[in-house]
Chains A and B, each alone.
Chain A
Amino acid sequence: MNEAARRLLSGHAFLAGFPPEAVELVADQAELVSFRPGALLFREGSPADVAYLVTTGHVAIEIHAPSRGPLVIETIGAGHVVGLSWAAPPFRYQFDARAIDHVEAVAVDTAPLRVALAENPVLGFLFLDRLTAVMLERLQATRIRLLDLYGATDAR
């Protein structure tokens, strides 16, 4: 097990309140990574097999459109997780993720993690619960942003 990863994970907000064996399960599949500003963490369409628990810096979730360049959809900072598409089929990243500044993260190999969680339903539920909370929060925020509340209101 990666001791350095375990220590970082036990203090990471995504795993806050998790029992030690849950943290160890994750640490077993984890390694420390860093990205220089502008580096790509993952690319749209590629297999989603890594979850990044960010400990330093900010990551832009973005999508590329020709002649409009990369459009930043959301930014994710320390204490949060980048990459959720590993949680459900088709297990493919739907967007690009790029380091905005110097980024350090714990990279978790999600395929073996999913296997381990399937074998341990109690821990599996904990993860699902936490993941659902993250997704719900992001979905609700995205919905509010869709309303374009700050845009000019229709004269009519």
Chain B
Amino acid sequence: MLAETVSHVDPSGSLVPAPYVVVGRREEAADVVTLSLEPVEGPSPTFRHGQFNMVTSFGRGEIAVSMSSAPGAPGPMEHSIRRVGAVSAGLCAAPVGSLVGIRGPFGSSWGIDEVEDGADVVVMAGGIGLAPLRGAVRDLVARQQCGRGRVFVLAGSRSPDQILFHEELQAWERAGVHVGVSVDVGAPGWVGVVGVVTALLPGAPFEASGALALLCGPEIMMRFGGRALVDRGVDPGRVRVSLERNMQCGIGLCGHCQLGPLLVCRDGPVVRYGGLADELFMERNR
């Protein structure tokens, strides 16, 4: 019954992954592990900020994970994975030298390559939501350092021990980027902001007119964050959110990721807030 055996497969509509080797791993906060991956054969793939791969933990299954590194950056592609189920646990436990499967890249992009010179970019992340934004922030920091426009990073977490990429946040701040970090609940030794992430907005001196805003995190956070940004004067059409739904094929064939008129894997996950996500967010059980 089985025909040709293939050791490297071109990922496409076949649902067959290409093997990648774990060349590095790093334990982050909050049950998150960042894996550095290189293809067994062929060059590292190109992708755009905000896209995702379907990542296979051989023997357990496949999940959608956004890239957390910047496209075209030197070094291997990175995925920061949160341990929430069997497949993610398998990936989080993958030792250096082990193999995972990759299909992708899929989905829409944050679109920061097209942002106009001079425009402020506001990045608001909640919890693990900072991971799909990390590659974009790295490039936006470089953009600011070239004088092409400012970036403002606002990151909210549940508690201080759950703050992701803490050292990188500090490095960005040292590089002159406005970085706001808040926690919902404090802890002994925490002298930073305790409050909802939207409370960081008044302290961020960005120019709302012409600004681009990127939000990623729990849906409630994106709902409140989107509204707060629009109230501040950001054009709702220039606020972008990253939607999430059950994904199994990643290529618009299995139907699981439907959200109203969208197939999130194909029409998202990044979609505009004004006139689309703001309405979809208000529909219950959709």
B219 touches A (CB below 8 Å): yes
Check A43 against B231 for contact (C-beta < 8 Å): no
Question: Closest CB-CB distance, A63 to chain B, in whole Å?
Answer: 6
- Cα separation A29 to B220 with both chains bound (whole Å): 33
Task: Select which of B184, B185, B282 is within 8 A of A43 by beta carbon.
Answer: B282
Check B185 against A66 for contact (C-beta < 8 Å): no
Give every chain A residue within 8 A of B218 (Cβ-Cβ): 65
B284 touches A (CB below 8 Å): yes
Task: Select which of A45, A64, A92, A148 is within 8 A of B185 by beta carbon.
Answer: A148
- The answer to whether residues A45 and B227 also contact, given A146-B185, A148-B185 and a CB cut-off of 8 A, is yes
Question: Closest CB-CB distance, B154 to chain A, in whole Å?
Answer: 19
Interface residues on A, range: 10 to 19
Q: Mark B108-136, 1 if CB is under 8 A from A, else 0.
A: 00000000000000000000000000000
Q: Mark A49-60, 1 if CB is under 8 A from B, else 0.
A: 000000000000
Check A65 against B185 for contact (C-beta < 8 Å): no
- Cα separation A147 to B187 with both chains bound (whole Å): 10
Check B185 against A63 for contact (C-beta < 8 Å): no
- Cα separation A64 to B223 with both chains bound (whole Å): 11
Interface residues on B, range: 10 to 19
Q: Which residue of A lies closest to B279 (CB)?
A: A45
Check B231 against A90 for contact (C-beta < 8 Å): yes
Question: Closest CB-CB distance, A113 to chain B, in whole Å?
Answer: 23
- The answer to whether residues A44 and B184 also contact, given A65-B218, A65-B219, A66-B219 and a CB cut-off of 8 A, is no
Give every chain B residue within 8 A of A92 (Cβ-Cβ): 227
Residues 70-88 (chain B) with a chain A CB within 8 angstroms: none
Task: Select which of B185, B231, B282, B285 is within 8 A of A44 by beta carbon.
Answer: B282
Check A65 against B220 for contact (C-beta < 8 Å): yes
Give every chain B residue within 8 A of A147 (Cβ-Cβ): 185
- Cα separation A63 to B196 with both chains bound (whole Å): 15
Check B282 against A146 for contact (C-beta < 8 Å): no
Q: Which residue of A lies closest to B224 (CB)?
A: A94
Check A63 against B282 for contact (C-beta < 8 Å): no
Give every chain A residue within 8 A of B231 (Cβ-Cβ): 90
- Cα separation A130 to B219 with both chains bound (whole Å): 34
Residues 187-230 (chain B) with a chain A CB within 8 angstroms: 218-220, 223-224, 227
Give every chain B residue within 8 A of A45 (Cβ-Cβ): 223, 227, 282
Residues 136-156 (chain A) with a chain B CB within 8 angstroms: 146-148
Question: Closest CB-CB distance, A151 to chain B, in whole Å?
Answer: 10
Give every chain B residue within 8 A of A90 (Cβ-Cβ): 227, 231
19 contacts between A and B (CB under 8 A): A43-B282, A44-B223, A44-B282, A45-B223, A45-B227, A45-B282, A63-B220, A64-B284, A65-B219, A65-B220, A66-B219, A66-B285, A90-B227, A92-B227, A94-B224, A146-B184, A146-B185, A147-B185, A148-B185
Residues of A within 8 A of B (CB): 43-45, 63-66, 90, 92, 94, 146-148
Given contacts A43-B282, A63-B220, could you give 8 more A-B pairs where the C-beta distance is less than 8 Å? A45-B227, A45-B282, A64-B284, A65-B219, A66-B285, A94-B224, A146-B184, A148-B185
